[in-house]
Amino acid sequence: MTTTAHPDTVLILDFGSQFTQLIARRVREAGVYSEIVPFNAGEAAIARLRPKAIILSGGPASAVSTGSPRAPDGVFSAGVPVLAICYGQQAMCAQLGGRVEGGHHREFGRAFLEVEEDSALFEGVWSKGSRHQVWMSHGDRVTALPEGFRVVATSSGAPFAAIADEARRFYGVQFHPEVVHTPDGARLLTNFVRNIAGLAGDWTMAAYREQAVAAIRGRVGSGKVICALSGGVDSSVAALLTHEAVGEQLTCILVDHGLMRLNEADEVVAMFREHYNVPLVRVDAADLFLGALEGEADPEKKRKTIGRLFIEVFEAEAKKLGGADFLVQGTLYPDVIESVSFTGGPSVTIKSHHNVGGLPERMDMKLVEPLRELFKDEVRALGRELGLPDRFIGRHPFPGPGLAIRCPGGVTRDKLDILRAADAIYLDEIRKAGLYDAIWQAFAVLLPVQTVGVMGDDRTYEYVCALRAVTSVDGMTADFYHYDMDFLGRTATRITNEVRGINRVVYDVTSKPPGTIEWE
């Protein structure tokens, strides 16, 4: 479901850059709605969205290679401003009659730009004769400009580092303005969408809430709606937004599969039933799930088992309610981007890492996905707009398969109880230290390893517990959190003292690329 019809949309055509999502984020930070579409779906996107401006992303291909990606011709005949970044600049120049060559001096990383001429793109940010740091990542470069363009900035490795055709409002930059290593890059992108494209910058969460509620009502009508509520930020915000739109037509279903954190199910039920008065059915299915998972060590089989059982339980509860016409899901924009990425990749495997599967066709329900246009931090902003308590808005992400993927190897009730207790102590220490909001996600993992240790006068043979904490903005990339040793020592001491079954604690300092924030 496309939640809203945005009158002011910036279309971003993706050539496969690792930074494409950052472009969308910078545009949204400027108060303008943006949407990413693969370059080869550009014509349809232009017709559907009628964008007020278009941005061409960078990409890994060489513009001089036969069959390398190109922008749809409609980009340059749409009559709207175009900003082409890195590979996008090269593709634009090649398509409009310029020349691109390979084998020249490469630029990767920090570089310095010399502003040769004033330009609308630089207005209020950079002026003629000034020098600025930017971030480069290219091997090919433009060597001849299409008719109508002029050079407005150069660097040591890119004589056409920034170009402009002011009459057509076409601009190209060889550097990446979307990354933080180009300090003024966000201001340049704001200049493009606000001043050159003339967009108002009034895309806010308050406006999104109003438009989304109207869209949900229009889609659902008088139909019955159910929502799989996990208590995480995404499903909680999706449920509250839908409840605001359709009220008692919505029933939330919480499947308690025995894999949730300590007291988590009770907290979710209390908040939604008592505070928000949302119709909620809690299903105690722990015996079913844990019985099926007993001893299963293969991570993909665990996920598939959980997914299958979740669907079966959810379907049975939906039938008890007399069926439903619509299903609410907390799909986010990164999920949408990943699922349509033209570059392919292991998205199915990555997504199984966090999710437990889709619904079978036999359930015959239409989807309502009110968050599918939002990044994770935007979902949190919408949660604040809806009045969700801070403790839920800032809650660390929790995977669909729950503690099963934080318990590598065979899953047993005893191991889950040990893990739950250790995880609760870890999070308690994080909160006491005032670190919870500084960390994107923190959790304990019970390793399938037992070690010999001496505790007091006894020799023990117990499990090793790994602690993980990462920092992130939108959940797409992550780095480990830099604890001091006093914190780690205090936390490890509590866990080994208070949790019977653990005699050693380690800290995971692995940085993770996109999509792999979880542990297993």
Q: Active-site residues: which are they?
A: 86, 176, 178
Q: Please identify which residue in the block is written with the tokens 């993909």.
A: 300
Whether 430 contacts 442, CB under 8 Å: yes
Q: Is 103 left (phi over 0), alpha (psi -120 to 50) or beta?
A: left
- Three-class SS of residue 434? coil
User: Could you tell me the two tokens for 310?
Assistant: 């979740």
- Phi then psi for residue 345, to 5 deg, are 100, 180
Q: Is 379 exposed, middle or buried (0-12, 13-18, 19+ CB in 10 A)?
A: buried
Q: Residue 397 and residue 102: Cα distance in Å, rounded?
A: 44
Helical H segments across 282-341, by residue range:
286-293, 299-320, 333-340
Q: What is the dihedral of CA 289, 291, 297, 300, to 10 degrees?
A: -30
Q: Please identify which residue in the block is written with the tokens 């990749």.
A: 345
Nearest alpha carbon to residue 281 among 211, 238, 226: 226
DSSP codes of every residue in 214-243: HHHHHHHTT--EEEE--SSHHHHHHHHHHH
Please name every residue paired with 54 in a beta bridge, in sequence order, or none if there are none. Answer: 11, 82
Widest CA span of the chain, in angstroms?
A: 84
Cα→Cα distances 408→94, 188, 417, 426, Å: 51, 46, 14, 19
Residues 165-181 as b or e (16 or more Cβ within 10 Å = b): beeebbbbbbbbbbbeb
Whether 111 contacts 141, CB under 8 Å: no
Cα→Cα distances 477→328, 505, 515, Å: 27, 25, 7
Q: Is 491 exposed, middle or buried (0-12, 13-18, 19+ CB in 10 A)?
A: buried
Nearest alpha carbon to residue 13 among 101, 73, 64, 97: 73
Pairing of strands 366-368, 82-85: unpaired
